């Protein structure tokens, strides 16, 4: 039987900056239809991975570097999890399902509200990658919220990692809530329709771009602990 550490070592070799394992039982509070078992009934363990997001695009005068970096890193994480599934299936007699960030099947058109096949923020939280902050983003102690998430579902039992328990949001901090131009976040949830209407835009030529990341940018913990020394 493959060891948890072997799986994580392979993930790092393929470019993961963070990885952790959550036994499938940790997802028992997931909403109906969004448990890893609903996607893959044989699932026993979930491996969550993350790749770092560059800091520079947050300081550019145009939204385009950020938007393109977002697309690139999402694609890289998608490639990473697919390659990892192939390597794991070759190394052991197991079955590994890559979980994409998007697309997804659930779509509430009037409210423009979508739901991932699996919430990658919850997968990352349950696998010890970080905590979910008031801006609703998964925030890692070292890399802050500058991380892009992915996951794979495995039909083998792996030793789970400890969940992170560091407190990140000061009780009176509301910087992300106040910085949202669309008033889309309240410290607990996101109004998707408001966020999408504001953040998803197009260049004059018509290409789709993301033009807002304020809730991510203004967070004092957004760059992680390294930020203090840069």
How buried is residue 208: exposed, middle or buried, by Cβ count under 10 Å (0-12/13-18/19+)? exposed
For 147-191, the DSSP string reads: EEEEEEEESS--PPPPPP----S-TT--HHHHH-TT--B-SS-B-
Q: Is the dihedral of CA 46, 145, 198, 59 positive or negative?
A: negative
> 55, 192 in Cβ contact below 8 A?
no
* CA-closest candidate to residue 149, choices 125, 178, 184, 176: 125
How many binding residues for ligand B12 (CB under 6 A)?
35
Binder of residue 22, out of ligand B12, ligand SF4, none (CB less than 5 to 8 A by kind):
none
Which CB, 80 or 138, lies closer to ligand B12? Answer: 138
- Is 105 one of the binding residues for ligand B12 (CB under 6 A)? no
Site string for ligand B12, 54-83 (x = CB under 6 A): --------------------x---------
Element (H, E) at 5: helix 4-13
Q: Per CB under 6 A, does 11 bind ligand B12?
A: no
Q: How far is the CB of 56 from ligand SF4 (least distance, A)?
A: 18
Which residue intervals of 14-134 are DSSP H helices? 36-39, 64-91, 120-126
User: CA–CA separation, 63 vs 217, rounded Å?
Assistant: 12
Report the partner that residue 119 touches, choosing among ligand SF4, ligand B12, none (CB closer than 5 to 8 A by kind).
ligand B12
Among 18, 43, 153, 213, which residue interacts with ligand B12 (rule: CB under 6 A)? Answer: 213
Contact pick of 41, 102, 105, 228 for ligand B12 (by CB under 6 A): 102
Candidates 45, 190, 219, 224: give the one binding ligand B12 (CB under 6 A): 190
For residue 193, the SS3 value is helix
Do 137 and 145 form a contact (C-beta atoms < 8 A)?
A: yes
Residue 81: contacted member of ligand B12, ligand SF4, none (CB under 5 to 8 Å, by partner type): none
Which residue in 21, 85, 120, 154 binds ligand B12 (CB under 6 A)? 120
Which residues in 150-189 contact ligand B12 (CB under 6 A)?
185, 189
Binding site for ligand B12 (CB under 6 A): 27, 29-31, 34, 74, 101-102, 114-116, 119-122, 135-138, 145, 147-149, 185, 189-190, 192, 195-196, 199, 210, 212-213, 215-216
């Amino acid at each position: 039987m493959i060891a948890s550490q072997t799986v994580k070592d392979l993930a790092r070799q393929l470019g993961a900056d963070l990885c952790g394992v959550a036994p499938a039982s940790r997802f028992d509070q997931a909403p109906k239809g969004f448990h890893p078992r609903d996607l893959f009934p044989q699932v026993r363990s979930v491996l969550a991975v993350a790749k770092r997001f560059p800091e520079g695009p947050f300081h550019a005068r145009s939204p385009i570097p950020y938007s393109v970096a977002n697309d690139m890193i999402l694609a890289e994480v998608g490639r990473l999890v697919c390659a990892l599934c192939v390597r794991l299936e070759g190394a052991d007699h197991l079955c590994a399902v890559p979980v994409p960030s998007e697309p997804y099947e659930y779509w509430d058109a009037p409210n423009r509200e979508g739901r991932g096949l699996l919430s990658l923020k919850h997968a990352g939280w349950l696998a010890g990658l970080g905590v979910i902050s008031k801006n609703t983003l998964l925030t890692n102690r070292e890399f802050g919220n500058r991380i892009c998430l992915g996951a794979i579902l495995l039909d083998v039992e792996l030793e789970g990692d400890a969940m992170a328990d560091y407190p990140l949001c000061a009780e009176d901090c509301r910087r992300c809530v106040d910085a949202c131009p669309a008033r889309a976040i309240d410290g607990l949830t996101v109004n998707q329709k408001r966020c999408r209407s504001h953040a998803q835009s197009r260049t004059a030529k018509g290409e789709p771009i993301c033009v807002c990341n304020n809730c991510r940018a203004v967070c004092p913990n957004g760059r992680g602990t390294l930020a203090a020394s840069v």
